[in-house]
Amino acid sequence: MHKGEVIAEKGNILIVDDKLANLKVLESTLEQQGYRVRKAINGSMALMGATAEPPDLVLLDIKMPDMDGYEVCQKLKSHPKTTEIPVIFLSALDDVLDKVRAFNVGGIDYITKPFQTEEILVRVQNQLQIRHLQRQLQAQNQHLSELNQELTRSNQELEQFAYVVSHDLKQPLQVILGFAKLLHKDHQASSESKLTQGLAQIVKSSTRMQQLIDDLLAYSRVGAKNLELQLIDCNIVLTQVLEDLQVTIQDSQATIDYDSLPTVLADETQLTELLQNLICNAIKFCPQERSPHVKISAQQQDREWLFEVRDNGIGIAPDNCDRIFQMFQRLHNHSEYPGTGIGLATCKKIVERHGGRIWVESEFGKGTSFYFTIPVSI
Ligand SMILES: Nc1ncnc2c1ncn2[C@@H]1O[C@H](COP(=O)(O)OP(=O)(O)OP(=O)(O)O)[C@@H](O)[C@H]1O
Ligand SMILES: [Mg+2]
C-alpha cells in the first residue's frame, strides 16, 4: 500500500481561512496525524475546491472578506455534491460568534482560536467518525432497500404463480371429480359404455394434470437449483435432444437441419431443456398439410452467441409475440395442439439465468424464428 492511500483513508480535510498563519498551523497539526489537507484562502476558492473534489470535512473560518463563513456554509449545504460534508466553524475569541446562526446554516461544531491542538484533533476525529458511520448506514440502507425490492418482486411472482397454478390445476381436477361422482352414483345402474366413457375421461384429465405438475416442477427447478456452469459443446447437447425426440421427428416426418454449434458456458441440463422445448414447439406448431422443417444455427455477435431455431410452421401474430413467454399463455386450445403453456416460460427463465435474452420473430402462416443469446465464455 502507498503512503498516499493510508492518508486518503484517514480523511480528506479542507481548511478555509483568509489568514495564512492559521492555515499553516492547522495544516501541519492535521498532516502530522496523517490527514490529507487542502487549503483555501477565501469562500469562492473553498466552494470550487469542495465541489470539484468533495472533502470528508471542512474547517471554515467565519470572518473572511467578501464571503463570510456563514454564507460559504449555506452554499455548501445547498449544493447536492457538498450538502452532506460536515462543517466545523473556526472563530477567534474576540469574534462575536453567532452560534445559533452557525448551526442554522448547517455547521456541526465550532472551534475557537487560538487553537488547542488536542481540541482540534478530538473534534475533527469525532466528526469524521460520525461521517464514516453515516456513510456505512447509508450503504446498508441502500443494500436493504435493494433486497426489499427484490423480495417484493419475487413475492409478486410467487403470488401470480400460485394464482395461475391453482386456476389451471382446478379445471382437470373438476372433470376428474365430476366423472368420479357420476360413476359412483350410477354404479349399480350403469351400462358398460357409460363406465368406459367416464373412466376414459378420468384417465385423460389425470394425465393432463400430471403433465401440468411435471412441467410446473421443471419450471420451478430452473429457479431453485444453483446453476452448474461448465463448458458445453452445444453439438453434443443437440445430438442428445434429437435422439430423445426421435419418435416425434419420425411421426411428424420432420426434417431437422443444423450448423456446427459453439461451445458455451452453461448448465447442461438447462441448455438441453431449452433446445428441447424450442425444437418441440417448432415441430408441433406446424399445419397438418406441411412437414415440419426446422433449422438450428448460431453465430457470434460481439460478446454473445446468437442462437436461432427456425421453423416453417403456423407462425405467430405480432400481437402475441410477447405474451407467449408468460406462464400458461397458449394461442390454441389443447385439442388443436396439446401442451401446457409452460415450455416458453421455462425457456425464458433458463436464458435469463444464463445472462442472455430470448425473443421471437414470426411471419403469421409461414414460420417462426426463436432467438436466444448466451454470453461468450472467456
Ligand atoms: N414455433 C412456434 N410456432 C407457432 N406458435 C408457437 C411456437 N412456439 C410456441 N408457440 C405458441 O406459444 C404458446 C406457448 O408455447 P409454450 O411452449 O410455452 O407452450 P406449449 O408448447 O403450448 O406447451 P408446453 O408447456 O408443453 O411447451 C404455444 O401454445 C403456441 O401458441
Ligand atoms: Mg412448448
Q: Domain-by-domain residue ranges, the chain?
A: 3-115, 227-378
pLDDT of residue 184: 75
Structural contact between residues 375 and 298, judged by C-beta atoms closer than 8 angstroms = no
Ligand 1 centre distance from Cα of residue 343 (Å): 7
pLDDT in tens, 2-40: 444 444 468 999 999 999 999 999 999 999 999 999 999
Section 78-103 average pLDDT: 86
**Class of the domain covering 3-115:** alpha beta
Burial of 204 (0-12, 13-18, 19+ CB in 10 A): middle
pLDDT of 133 reads: 92
Query: What percentage of residues in the chain have a pLDDT greater than 70?
Result: 93
Q: Can you tell me the mean pLDDT for 114-138?
A: 91
Tell me the C-alpha distance between 259 and 296, whole Å.
Answer: 7
Which residues contact ligand 1 via a Cβ below 6 A? Answer: 215, 277, 281-282, 285, 311, 313-314, 316, 324, 329-332, 339-345, 368
- Ligand 1 mutation target, pool 216, 248, 281, 320, most atoms within 8 A of CB: 281
Neighbours of 83 (CB within 10 A): 11
Q: Which residue bears the cell 390445476?
A: 169
* pLDDT of the residue at 257: 97
Look at residue 174 and tell me whether its pLDDT is greater than 70: yes
- The minimum-distance atom of ligand 1 relative to the CA of 367 is 3
How far apart CA 49 and CA 43 sit, in angstroms, is 10
pLDDT higher than threshold 70 for residue 363 = yes
Asked if residue 1 has pLDDT above 60, the reply is: no
pLDDT band at 97 (very low <50, low <70, confident <90, very high): low
Q: Which residues pair with 39 in a beta bridge?
A: 15
Torsion-angle region of 365 (φ positive above 0: left; ψ -120 to 50: alpha; else: beta): left
- Whether residue 260 contacts residue 238, with contact meaning beta carbons closer than 8 Å, is answered with no
Q: What is the CATH number that goes with domain 227-378?
A: 3.30.565.10
* Arithmetic mean of pLDDT over the chain: 89
Question: Alpha-carbon distance 245 to 239, whole Å?
Answer: 10
Q: Whole-model pTM above 0.85? A: no
| Residue 95 pLDDT | 65
Q: Which residue has the higher pLDDT, 364 or 164?
A: 364
Q: 344 CA to middle of ligand 1, Å?
A: 7
Does residue 45 register a pLDDT over 80? Answer: yes
Tally the C-alpha atoms within 13 A of residue 249's C-alpha that lie toward its C-beta.
13
**What is the C-alpha separation between 338 and 120, in angstroms, rounded?**
80
Q: What is the pLDDT of residues 324-349, one digit of tens each?
A: 999 888 898 878 898 989 999 999 99
Structure confidence by residue, pLDDT tens digits, 275-311 = 999 999 999 999 999 999 999 999 999 999 999 999 9
Q: What DSSP designation does 163 have?
A: H
List CB contacts of 265: < 8 A, sequence separation 6 or more. 229, 230, 231, 232, 374, 375, 377
> Is it the case that residue 239 has pLDDT exceeding 60?
yes
- What spacing in Å lies between the alpha carbon of 284 and ligand 2's midpoint? 8
pLDDT at 96 (0 to 100): 66
Residues 6 or more apart whose CB falls under 8 angstroms from that of 142 comprise none
